[in-house]
Amino acid sequence: MIKSREERSMYMLSRIAAVIITAAIASTLYASEPNKEQQTSWPEPDPKAVKAWQDMRFGMFIHWGPVSLTGHEIGWSRGKETPVEKYDMLYKEFNPVKFNADEWVKTAADAGMKYLVITTKHHDGFCLWPSEVTDYDIGGTPFKRDVLKELSDACKKHGIRFGTYYSVCDWHNPAYPLGSPGGNTKKPNPDLAAYDKYLRAQTTELVKNYGTLVTMWFDVPQVYDVTYGADMVKELRALQPDILINNRAYAKRGLSVGDYDTPEQKIGGFNRERPWETCMTICRQWAWKPNDEMKSLKQCIQTLIYTAGGDGNLLFNVGPMPDGLIEQRQVERLKEMGNWMAKYGDGIYGTRGGPFKPGKWGASTCKNNTIYMFVMEWSPDNSLHLPALEKQIKQVKSLTGGDVTFNQTDKNLIFTIPATSRDEIATVLEITVDGNAFAITPMNVEDKSGK
Ligand code: FHN
């Protein structure tokens, strides 16, 4: 029975002390419980590396492997459309004799793409390079050639940055706890610590053997969490201090993970505070699918415009065929994108999103004292009504042709262009202002298209 105030306080103090000591013991006993510092700190990237990556704005994503022999989705079709036993033997037939790294990289360069990221290992566990720690790799195929070496060499030759996608989950590896189909089964004898060793051996091979990588693009970490991931990331950064790592290196669980976010199959929201990159397929499937639905040129270009307008990058995916060729129709679509970029790429490369935020009207980007407007919707009276601009306009040019006029007041800004001068994909206006365009406070644009 507590008698006095003093005894009550002493009792409370002893209870608090007990709680603190217990927590301290627990934190040492369960070594797998990451410490507070480990949980919240992500090793900051070199700001110059981030800016160089952002300036590129547009990259090629490639999803490829023996699965292309089936025309079904990489990883996900294992144990679904294709029985596991059959899927895991596909590599014995994988012989993409028409693979030409130079051609792939030239296709990327001709599209106006500045970097390239390929699935070195997807969820199915197959490795497109001769890994020291597994035989389930390109060395076990009739093809045998090191696809990554040939690609990274070709990228260097064409001035394209090379990056590697690596799936954290591995439904083929017996040590990784989850398996196919879709990570919904449990392996009989999982050993995550052993799998972490395997994963780190492979990621070390990638960063050591294929030149300076622009990024390590991790995917689907599932049960692989900060307990392992924090040290793995530190190891990568120690090997390549400038490498950018996306936000899928390990299970987030409320942690801040990665140098950039990765909205998928959708355009990210306007965000100048944290780098981001939309990854999207040119067709519908990530890996090659016969007669898959392919996006129109308008869809492709407007996706790129909206991504840059939101201050993000676009990683645009192709799925090469089992013979090693990228489908001709995809090559042609990418060439059409390159033709557009050749004319209007100044408004994409090296720009930042805004100041007019993306909307049905279109999107804008900015660089030095220039604002680029990509107008997709006009009001019925052929005008575009915008909020007042805090800097004085010195000149306006329509890069897509025609005469554009403008009226700037302290209340609003109106552009007008004859309907005959509009461009079906986007009417591109180049606006010169009297100062740094990026310093202009970003603004929303009210939808006045009347549609
Ligand atoms: O499951 C994968 C999918 O196959 C594809 O690789 C995408 C690309 O970002 N990532 C995962 C789905 O989020």
From ligand 1's centre to the CA of 412, what distance in Å?
43
The answer on pLDDT for 145 being more than 90 is yes
pLDDT at 36: 42
Mean pLDDT calculated for residue range 28-39: 40
CA distances from 193 to 132, 185, 228 (A): 18, 19, 8
pTM as predicted: 0.91
Q: Distance between CA atoms of 215 and 212, rounded to whole angstroms?
A: 9
Which residue(s) pair with 215 in the sheet?
Answer: 244
Q: Where are the beta strands (DSSP E) in 122-254?
A: 161-167, 178-179, 185-186, 213-219, 244-245
Q: For a substitution probing ligand 1, which of 77, 180, 220 has the most ligand atoms within 8 Å of its CB?
A: 220
Q: For a substitution probing ligand 1, which of 166, 264, 284 has the most ligand atoms within 8 Å of its CB?
A: 264
pLDDT band of 34, cuts 50, 70, 90? very low
From ligand 1's centre to the CA of 141, what distance in Å?
24
pLDDT at 412: 97
| Cα 40 off chain centre by | 22
Joined together, the tokens standing for residue 449 give 């298209």
pLDDT band of 255, cuts 50, 70, 90? confident
Is the beta carbon of 138 within 6 A of some atom in ligand 1? no
Quick: pLDDT tens for 299-332: 999 999 999 999 999 999 999 999 999 999 999 9
Going by CA atoms, what residue is nearest to atom 5 of ligand 1? 286
Is the beta carbon of 219 within 6 A of some atom in ligand 1? yes
The answer on pLDDT for 21 being more than 50 is no
Which residue(s) pair with 352 in the sheet?
Answer: 366
Is the beta carbon of 377 within 6 A of some atom in ligand 1? no
**β-sheet with 244-245: strand ranges across:** 244-245, 213-219, 161-167, 115-121, 58-62, 313-318, 277-281
From ligand 1's centre to the CA of 31, what distance in Å?
31
pLDDT at 448: 66
Quick: pLDDT tens for 359-374: 999 999 999 999 999 9
**Helical packing angle, 192-209 and 226-239, nearest 10°:** 20
From ligand 1's centre to the CA of 163, what distance in Å?
16
pLDDT at 446: 84
Mean pLDDT calculated for residue range 273-295: 98
**Ligand 1 atom nearest to CA at 165:** 6
Q: How confident is the prediction for the chain on average, in pLDDT?
A: 92
Is the beta carbon of 279 within 6 A of some atom in ligand 1? yes
Is the beta carbon of 294 within 6 A of some atom in ligand 1? no
Find the distance separating the first CA and the last CA of the chain, reported in whole Å. Answer: 76
Joined together, the tokens standing for residue 170 give 């591995």
Is the beta carbon of 361 within 6 A of some atom in ligand 1? no
Joined together, the tokens standing for residue 68 give 């292309």
* Nearest Cα to Cα of residue 222 among 269, 271, 268, 187: 187
The proportion of the chain whose per-residue pLDDT surpasses 90, expressed as a percent, equals 88
Joined together, the tokens standing for residue 61 give 């994503």
Mean pLDDT calculated for residue range 127-138: 98
pLDDT band of 447, cuts 50, 70, 90? confident
Residue 342 phi/psi, 5-degree rounding, is -65, -30
**Ligand 1 atom nearest to CA at 63:** 6
Residue 164 phi/psi, 5-degree rounding, is -125, 130
pLDDT at 351: 99
Which residue(s) pair with 219 in the sheet?
Answer: 167
Is the beta carbon of 191 within 6 A of some atom in ligand 1? no
pLDDT band of 14, cuts 50, 70, 90? low
Mean pLDDT calculated for residue range 31-51: 70
pLDDT at 29: 32
Q: Distance between CA atoms of 298 and 426, rounded to whole angstroms?
A: 9
Q: Distance between CA atoms of 257 and 373, rounded to whole angstroms?
A: 33
Q: What is the 3-state secondary structure (H, E, C) of 33-65?
A: CCCHHHHHCCCCCCHHHHHHHHHHCEEEEECCC
From ligand 1's centre to the CA of 140, what distance in Å?
25
Q: For a substitution probing ligand 1, which of 63, 166, 286, 313 has the most ligand atoms within 8 Å of its CB?
A: 286
**Ligand 1 atom nearest to CA at 123:** 1
- Residue 18 C-beta-side C-alpha neighbours within 13 Å: 6
pLDDT at 254: 83
Contact (CB, 8 A) for 437 and 370: yes
